[in-house]
């Protein structure tokens, strides 16, 4: 149980285009999902908290107009990187909280590697 | 000072050795403690979850929490080359809305 999928697993795009990444909880409902980015050999950096049916909460320094988050259902959150630039190249990872499990544990997707040319 | 300190390593040990991974923290409000394992180019995988102080064992893995010292540990017995990965500690308090505070991760290398 507690499987989270991400799609796509990797994407290469041209500078200036937008990229959408999907995060799905496959066998549980998640009212709360998180989006992280991770640079090589560094730990996870929280970008935003995504709550189903409400606006995402962004961490300081993360541009909400650039990283659009939509948590439209209890099993799906999307992150859209708008007008991507090479500095947005990174590993993006989502996680979901299985609140019915009664813990604070987050279950992570496999990540999406974004390369912006 | 970071809220959670973790030595990034790398930590290299021979196969079969007992591995000890540690994190220290400064926020006494933390109640939930987790260890995640992350293989290269993959998302983190939850290994152990502990609430408050004490020990928890799962197979070859043992998690310890010492709240008085603000110190948590993960022990791996009979280490295998497949245990080679980055191990991240994470923790939260009751008011965190499920947000986790992460250690930097320790890269572990098990040599055959």
pLDDT tens, N- to C-terminus, chain A (117 residues): 678 999 999 999 999 999 999 999 998 888 889 999 988 777 889 999 988 888 899 999 999 999 999 988 889 999 999 999 999 999 999 999 887 766 667 889 999 999 999
Instruction: Please tell me the predicted confidence (pLDDT) of residue A100.
Output: 73
B41 vs A43, A108, A113: nearest CB? A113
Residue B42 has pLDDT above 80, yes or no: yes
Residue B111 has pLDDT above 90, yes or no: yes
Instruction: Please tell me the predicted confidence (pLDDT) of residue A1.
Output: 64
Size of interface A-B (CB pairs under 8 A): 56
**Number of Cβ atoms within 10 Å of the Cβ of A53:** 9
Closest approach of A104 to chain B, Cα-based (Å):
5
Average pLDDT score over residue span B78-101: 88
Handedness of CA A76, A82, A84, A90 (dihedral sign): negative
Q: Cβ separation of B104 and A42 shorter than 8 Å? A: yes
Measure the CA–CA gap between A20 and A48, rounded to whole angstroms. 15
User: What's the first-to-final CA gap in chain B, in angstroms?
Assistant: 37
Contact yes or no for A101/A108 (Cβ under 8 A): no
């Amino acid at each position: 149980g507690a499987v989270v999928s991400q799609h796509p697993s990797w994407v290469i795009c041209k500078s200036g285009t937008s990229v959408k990444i999907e995060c799905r909880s496959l066998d549980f409902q998640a009212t709360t999902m998180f989006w992280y980015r991770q640079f090589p050999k560094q730990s996870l950096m929280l970008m935003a908290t995504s709550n189903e049916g409400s606006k995402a909460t962004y961490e300081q320094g993360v541009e909400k107009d650039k990283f659009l988050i939509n948590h439209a259902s209890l099993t799906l959150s999307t992150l859209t990187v708008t007008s991507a630039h090479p500095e947005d190249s990174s590993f993006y990872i989502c996680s979901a909280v299985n609140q019915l499990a009664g813990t604070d544990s987050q279950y992570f997707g496999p990540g999406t590697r974004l390369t912006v040319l | 000072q970071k809220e959670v300190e973790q030595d990034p390593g790398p930590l290299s040990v021979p196969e079969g050795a007992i591995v000890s991974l540690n994190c220290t923290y400064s926020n006494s409000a933390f109640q939930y403690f987790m260890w995640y394992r992350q293989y290269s180019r993959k998302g983190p995988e939850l290994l152990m979850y502990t609430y408050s102080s004490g020990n928890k064992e799962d197979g070859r893995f043992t998690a310890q929490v010492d709240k008085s010292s603000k110190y948590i540990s993960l022990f791996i017995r009979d280490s295998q080359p497949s245990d080679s990965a980055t191990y991240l500690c994470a923790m939260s308090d009751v008011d965190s809305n499920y947000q986790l505070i992460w250690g930097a991760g320790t890269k572990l290398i098990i040599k055959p």
